[in-house]
Structures are given as structure tokens and as C-alpha cells.
Structure 1
Amino acid sequence: MAKVAIIGGGMSGVACAMQLVKNGHNPIVFDTGKRGVGGRMATRSESNVQFDHACQFFTASDPRFVATCREWQEKGIVAPWKGTIVTLRQGEVVPIGGGHGGGPNWIGKDGMESIPRKLLSELPGCTVHPGAWVSRLKRTSHGQWEVITSERSMGCFDYAIVAHNGKCANRLSACHGMENINKVLVKLRLSSIWMVAIQFQNGLKLPYDAAFVEAPSALSFIGNQKNKFVSSRKSECWVLFSTAEYGKRNKVPQEFIPEDKGKQVTDELLSEFATSIGIARDALPSIMFTKIQLWGAGLPLNVLQHSDFILDPTTKAGICGDWCVEPSVQGAVLSGFALADAIHAREQGIATAYVSSSFRPVQTASPIGAFPGLCDGPATTSNGSARSAASSAKGQRPVASTSPASPTQAPALVEPSPEPHPSDTIKWAVRKRVWDYLEQHNLVDFPRPCHKRIPNFKGAGEAAHRLAGLDCWARAACVKVNPDVAQ
């Protein structure tokens, strides 16, 4: 049984802890949240009104996550949300999925924050340290990880998992033993998004509950909290989210928002809100309260390729998050599950090593994330819901492009090499596949990497020509390794 420190209590860290417990391990979760765990699964209460001020709802398309959501529903943790979702396109109201966005669209029964909180509270064998600011990770002489908070040492662990991103993650990974993790993290790009919550004295009586707002508005999404919380049904509380571009132009230190900047952003986004819904600004109902927040590390603008997580088997350091899969709750959960399974496999003697260093841009996800399976919605990744559907319950990645223009992947602990000639791509993929199969199944003693290069295998070229014509090979995740030098 491995003792695993998980730094971050968002959905990816929670999912990793859940799967580790299921596999018989001992996770300990450290989270900085003063009010509890959750990260971007955040819920606030102001003036006796509750509102989700980050994640508004989520969808599921991957079979494993679909089943997980059903389990959570049976336990009373989540519920289908019947809210009507539309797209606002320059004054036009465009229904999504017949006006209901496909479905089901999931929300927490007591707010989004209640999901990770309930999941961890019902998780035997898992210890949670809320309000814990981990200042340092230290590699010990015995090969363990010491977790040090701003107050004291929290003990030593077999594995150290960073389940969040941004400046704190970069700082924690900038230590001895996490060099390979840090090299990847510094390539991650995150958006900044403003959120303004507004409670109106009277209802707006709009024919929809949420809307994706298209350019040229500075808003990206608006959501009515009335039908999500019992406490909010006497009046209407709307949450407004800016675009990433607006967030970048108006970025300030999120820990201390200047009063004048807060007023400016509130005023501008409120005006954009009135314009988007087709109401004059002075015709809006009386405002009872406003709340503003800047998500300085909102959502990933690029995501990892070819791997749902990162695990350095030499130092037992790993990382998971939505940026490893797609900017969604589904992506975060699948990444956490996959990393936990890899740790378990390694503890069972099956060698695993996943350190991918290439990213692809998030091209068509909305500024508030991707919603795989949302019918006709704008909020899908560049591969859309097909990407999630193609991924099996084992967490397989989708087919990797073999065109010369595609980004390349660095295999485990190996620096990336130049892209091969297209005709040679499959040959190098065969070599990588043979290597992975032998290593994961521990069948025989096989050549170790020499000078950071994976050895060739006799017959790889002939195998490549035969495999090229198989449909199942075409659907597999193919990656290349070291094609630049004959070996």
C-alpha cells in the first residue's frame, strides 16, 4: 500500500484520491481552500443567496465518466439540471440541443462545491487537510517526499502528486526530483476570467437559464442561479463570465483587486449583460448586491498530448488535471483516475512512465470550458465530443496525427526528436509499442534505453507495412520515437 500526498483538492485531485482508495492505497489530500476543498467547483453565499461562481454545470460523454456520474446521482451527490441553455449570437437566441443542451447536464445537489466535499467526506482511508498551504516538497535521502506547509512538516510520502496548476504548481515542482514535471508545467498557458455575480430584486423572466455569449461581447457565459438553489428562488442571481481576452486586458493581482478596477469591471460586464439579453441598461431591475472575482488561472489554453497525466517513475512524482485531457470536469476526473491507476500498476510491479512534453492548443472550447456531449453547443474541444467518445474506459488517448505538421510527443523521460518522414512514422510507432508492451507486461529482460534512445527491434519495418493496412492500428494511438538516427 502506497502513501500518496495529493496537493490540490479540486476534481482531479479528488478523483485521484478516490481511485487510489479503490485500489487499496492511502491518499492524503492537502488543499488551500479556507472554506473547504473544491478549487473551481466553487459555491458562495451572499445576502442569503447561493451561487456557483466558477463551474456552472458539466457533461459526460466518456463511458467511464458517464457511469461515474450515475453512481454519484444514486448517492444524491449530483442531479440532472433541466435548465434551458442557448447561444446568444448578436441579438439572436439560438437553442442548443432543442433548447435543453442534450443531456444530462449535471450540477451538485447543494452547489458545485458540495460534489468534491461529499466525495471526500465519504471516502474511507483518505485524510484531508483543508486550509493547508504547501510551501515546499523535499526529496528525502530515502527516496520519499516530505510535504512542508507554511507551519510545519506534514510527514513523508511514497508519492507526491501535484493536482493543480498555475504559479503555485510551478513553484512546488521547481525542486530536486521534479525537474521533468516542471519542464512540462512551464509550457502550460492559462486564461484569466472575470466573474461578476448580481442579484436582482425582481426576475428578468428570460426564456432561458444560461447562455453562451458569442463575440464581439466581452462576456462569454451568463447563468441564472434561480433554478439551481432553493435559497435563490425568491429573486434572481445571475453570474457573468468574461472572455479570456477581456480578462487578459484587465488582469490585476487576484489576491487584491483594486476597488476602482472592481467597479470598472462590474459596470462594463453589467452593460454587456444588458446588451446581450436585449434590455436597456437602465431597464434592468434594481440590484440588491454584486460580487466580483478574478480567476487568474482560470482554464488551460493548451492541453497535453498523448497522455492523460504525468508520472516520473524514478522519483515517484506525478501530476494530473483537466489540462492533461480537456478543460472540463470530465477531463479533470479522467486524468485523476488514470494517474491513480498508473501508480497502482507501478506498485504491482508493472513499470509505468509517462512524461509527455508536447501540447496542443484548445481551439474551440468556450472560455468557461469544454462540455463534451453538449448537443450543438459551442463549448467543445477541437476534437469535440468525438474525442471523449473515442477514449475507452481505460483512458486511451485518441488517434495521434502522423502528419509532419503535428506536434510530437516525448516518450517517458526522453527528449522529443524531430518529426520523421511520413513514410517512416509507423515504423517508429511499432518500436515504441513493442517497448511499452514488454515493459508493462514484464515479460522478458529487454534492452534498456541507451543515451536516451529506445532500441530498435528486429522486424519492426516489416511489421509496420503489415500493420499499416489494419483498421484497428489506424484507430490506435500512434506516437513516434527517435527516428532521426539509425540505431
Structure 2
Amino acid sequence: MTVPIAIIGAGIAGLSAAQALQTAGRTVHLFDKGRGSGGRMASKASEAGSLDLGAQYFTARDRRFAEQVRHWVAAGWAAEWQPQLYNARDGQLTPSPDEQTRWVGVPRMSAITRGLLEDMTVSFACRITEVFRGVEYWHLQDAEGVTHGPYERVVIAVPAPQATPLLAAAPKLAAIAAGVQMEPTWAVAVGFVEPLATPMQGCFVQDNPLDWLARNPSKPGRDAQPDTWVLHASAQWSKQHIDLTKDQAIEQLCGAFAELVGCVVPVPNFSLAHRWLYARPAGNHEWGALGDPDQGLYACGDWCLSGRVEGAWLSGQEAARRLLEHLD
């Protein structure tokens, strides 16, 4: 009997690890508490079409990740986004000189993780609450009390605060994860019947409740959408307003957007909000991934590296590499 490897989390880190392990001939079983893949690269269906409320784009600086992105583009899952970018500071809007190449999933960010899921075994809407070791193999228990297993190894690919209790069998790893600070982000999407009279398609914002805003239809593959905008609050503002209702977050962030955008902003005909409790790590780390090879327990995610999509993918690759190195 082939004993599979369990991976908790079907975001980009978990799927990266799964892809590397399957390529090496290993059987994997993914679990995710959500109803679909992607984690913070997920897209939310709405009456205004699919919206990227989490990761807005990604960059590729590492040659290994750049090669992976080329495969995604060739598969039709990703394309380059060339927005008209601005900077906003002290009430002034100026065109951004930034020439960084940016990529997005097509026709939505979640297209990439959905593509990676092909030919993989995955259990959605299954929140794993405990990872424990039997005589020889690992077992997982979910929130419904159901036990899954046996598994030869376990990879935990969720944000550090969620990984900490799952790493209880490896106290040193659990302590490292517990020390990682993750910052929240309030995300709001608003839509308008008529396009706003601004050339802006993306904006980096300083000294404001907002940190970032993007015109969703400017991204490749989203042309038929109405004029929808995604607004991200700053980590500082999100922390200070973490307990707002969604309606309050929409009202306050829409007000900040209307003041900043430099044109008349009518009442939106559509709005929604999402609170990311663990949007990004507060700082960068150099771990790559965490692992206890003697026990066969590993952890990965953007919090092990840079906080970027690229960091999540590289962390998943590193977790798989370390795991394979110690398999019989």
C-alpha cells in the first residue's frame, strides 16, 4: 500500500509542495477549510463578476519562479498586467515610474490554483484541527471529529497563527510559527454603472486609511466587467478597525477612495467587504520552510520567506525538497 502525504492548505504554498511531490512520484492528499483553492489568491464571485480581493498581482524575481510563471502563461492561466499606476501622498496623485513586470491569473487570480489542482486529490470545506502521530503514521482530525489517515508525512501550508496548533507534535516548529506576526487587511470592492473619469488603474497610497487600489477590469481577461475597484486598507488602519462591521468598513474606505481618486465618485451600485485576518507577515524571514525530518512534519507559506506569492511558491518547493530528501 502506498501511504500518501497530507498537505493542509490549498493555497499557492500547499499546491507548490503538492506539485513538486507529485512530480517526484509521491501521492498527495490536500485539505482546505475553504470551499475552493487559492487561499489569499482566491477570487470571490459577485454580482459584478469575479473579484480578486486578496493578492492583486505577483512579481517574479527568482529564476525558478519566473520559469514557473512562463508555464502558467503558456497554459493560459496567467498574463502580464500593465496598469497605469499612480502614487498618492499628501493628497497629491502622481504617475508612478515603477516598471516592475506584474502578473495576474486569467480570467481571475484563482485560475492559477485551479489549474494546479488538476489530477490532485483534495478535500474542501474540511478544517483540520489536530495533527497526531500513531504507531507508525500520521493522522488528521477535522472540526467534525472525523479522523483522516494514515499519512507518511504531513505538510502544513496555512498562515503561521493557524499552523501553530497543528504543529503541536513538533514544539520547536510550533514556537517558531507562534513568533510570526501576521498583519490584517480590510478589502473592499465597489462598482459603478459608469466608468469613473480617471486614467488610474492602480495606485500605491501612503499616509491614508488605504494602502492600495486597483481597477479590476484593467486586468487581462476581465474586460466585460463593469467599473469595479478593489480597495485595500493599510495594515495599521486594519488593525485599528479590525472589529468594524462590513458595512462600516465599506463606508469608511469608500470615503477615503472618493477623496483620493481625483474625480467625481457617485454612490456605488455595488459593494462588498472581506477581512483578511492574516493577510501578510509583518516581516521577511529566511527559513524557506520549517521541518522536523525525524518526525516527518513540515510547514511552509509566504511567512517563511517574503510575504509575496513568489515567497509562498518557493516555500512550498523548499518544503517538498526537504521532505523528499529524508524519505526512505
The whole-number CA distance in structure 1 between the counterparts of 2:304 and 2:177 is 10
Which residue, out of 72, 79, 100, partners 1:102?
Answer: 100
In the superposition, relative to structure 1, how do residues 68 and 291 fare at CA in structure 2: closer, same or farther (>3 Å)?
same
Residue 73 of structure 1 contacts residue 79 of structure 1 at CA under 8 Å; is this kept in 2?
Answer: yes
Residue 226 of structure 1 contacts residue 233 of structure 1 at CA under 8 Å; is this kept in 2?
Answer: yes
Which residue, out of 230, 234, 238, partners 1:247?
Answer: 238
Identify the residue that residue 260 of structure 2 maps to in structure 1.
Answer: 276
Corresponding letter in the other structure for 2:190: I
The answer on 1:158 being equivalent to 2:158 is: no
Identify the residue that residue 315 of structure 1 maps to in structure 2.
Answer: 295
Corresponding letter in the other structure for 2:40: R
Identify the residue that residue 313 of structure 2 maps to in structure 1.
Answer: 333
Corresponding letter in the other structure for 1:67: E
Q: Any idea what SS the aligned residue of 2:307 has?
A: coil
1:39-118 counterparts in 2 under 5 A? 39-97=39-97, 101-103=99-101, 105-118=102-115
In the superposition, relative to structure 1, how do residues 20 and 230 fare at CA in structure 2: closer, same or farther (>3 Å)?
closer
Identify the residue that residue 295 of structure 1 maps to in structure 2.
Answer: 276
Corresponding letter in the other structure for 2:140: V
1:231 is displaced (CA, Å) by 5.7
Corresponding letter in the other structure for 2:215: N
In the superposition, relative to structure 1, how do residues 48 and 272 fare at CA in structure 2: closer, same or farther (>3 Å)?
closer
The whole-number CA distance in structure 1 between the counterparts of 2:293 and 2:26 is 17
The whole-number CA distance in structure 1 between the counterparts of 2:246 and 2:238 is 12
Q: Any idea what SS the aligned residue of 1:287 has?
A: coil
Identify the residue that residue 145 of structure 1 maps to in structure 2.
Answer: 138
1:232 is displaced (CA, Å) by 5.8
The answer on 1:228 being equivalent to 2:225 is: no
In the superposition, relative to structure 1, how do residues 308 and 166 fare at CA in structure 2: closer, same or farther (>3 Å)?
closer
Which is strand-richer, 1 or 2?
2
Q: Any idea what SS the aligned residue of 2:149 has?
A: strand
The whole-number CA distance in structure 2 between the counterparts of 1:71 and 1:205 is 37
1:332 is displaced (CA, Å) by 0.3
The whole-number CA distance in structure 1 between the counterparts of 2:162 and 2:303 is 15
Q: Any idea what SS the aligned residue of 1:314 has?
A: coil
Residue 197 of structure 1 contacts residue 237 of structure 1 at CA under 8 Å; is this kept in 2?
Answer: yes
Residue 145 of structure 1 contacts residue 158 of structure 1 at CA under 8 Å; is this kept in 2?
Answer: yes
The answer on 1:193 being equivalent to 2:191 is: no
TM-score, normalisation: structure 2: 0.94
Question: Could you list the per-position Cα deviations for residues 157-209 of structure 1 after superposition, in whole angstroms to 9, with x for gaps in the alignment?
Answer: 111111012443222223xx221221111101011111111011111132221
Identify the residue that residue 411 of structure 1 maps to in structure 2.
Answer: none
TM-score, normalisation: structure 1: 0.64
The whole-number CA distance in structure 2 between the counterparts of 1:48 and 1:301 is 32
In the superposition, relative to structure 1, how do residues 11 and 234 fare at CA in structure 2: closer, same or farther (>3 Å)?
closer
The whole-number CA distance in structure 1 between the counterparts of 2:279 and 2:253 is 17
1:130 is displaced (CA, Å) by 1.2
State the structure with more CA Rg.
1
Identify the residue that residue 172 of structure 2 maps to in structure 1.
Answer: 180
Corresponding letter in the other structure for 2:4: K
Residue 43 of structure 1 contacts residue 51 of structure 1 at CA under 8 Å; is this kept in 2?
Answer: yes
Question: Could you list the per-position Cα deviations for residues 396-448 of structure 1 after superposition, in whole angstroms to 9, with x for gaps in the alignment?
Answer: xxxxxxxxxxxxxxxxxxxxxxxxxxxxxxxxxxxxxxxxxxxxxxxxxxxxx
14-23 or 227-236, which moves further after superposition? Answer: 227-236
The answer on 1:202 being equivalent to 2:203 is: no
Q: Any idea what SS the aligned residue of 1:37 has?
A: coil
1:112 is displaced (CA, Å) by 0.7
Ranked by relative contact order (alpha carbons within 8 Å, sequence separation 6 or more), the top structure is 2
Q: How many residues align?
A: 326
Corresponding letter in the other structure for 1:268: Q
Corresponding letter in the other structure for 1:293: H
Residue 96 of structure 1 contacts residue 102 of structure 1 at CA under 8 Å; is this kept in 2?
Answer: no
1:82 is displaced (CA, Å) by 2.1
The whole-number CA distance in structure 1 between the counterparts of 2:48 and 2:210 is 26
Q: Any idea what SS the aligned residue of 2:139 has?
A: strand
Question: Could you list the per-position Cα deviations for residues 247-303 of structure 1 after superposition, in whole angstroms to 9, with x for gaps in the alignment?
Answer: 111112xxxxx6xx3232212111111122124xxx312411110111111110033
Residue 163 of structure 2 contacts residue 299 of structure 2 at CA under 8 Å; is this kept in 1?
Answer: no
Q: Any idea what SS the aligned residue of 1:339 has?
A: helix
Corresponding letter in the other structure for 1:21: Q
Residue 3 of structure 2 contacts residue 150 of structure 2 at CA under 8 Å; is this kept in 1?
Answer: no
The whole-number CA distance in structure 2 between the counterparts of 1:315 and 1:94 is 54
Corresponding letter in the other structure for 1:243: S
Q: Any idea what SS the aligned residue of 1:297 has?
A: strand
Corresponding letter in the other structure for 1:211: C
Corresponding letter in the other structure for 1:137: V
The whole-number CA distance in structure 2 between the counterparts of 1:209 and 1:26 is 43
| Identity across the alignment (%) | 27
Corresponding letter in the other structure for 2:107: D
Residue 44 of structure 1 contacts residue 53 of structure 1 at CA under 8 Å; is this kept in 2?
Answer: yes
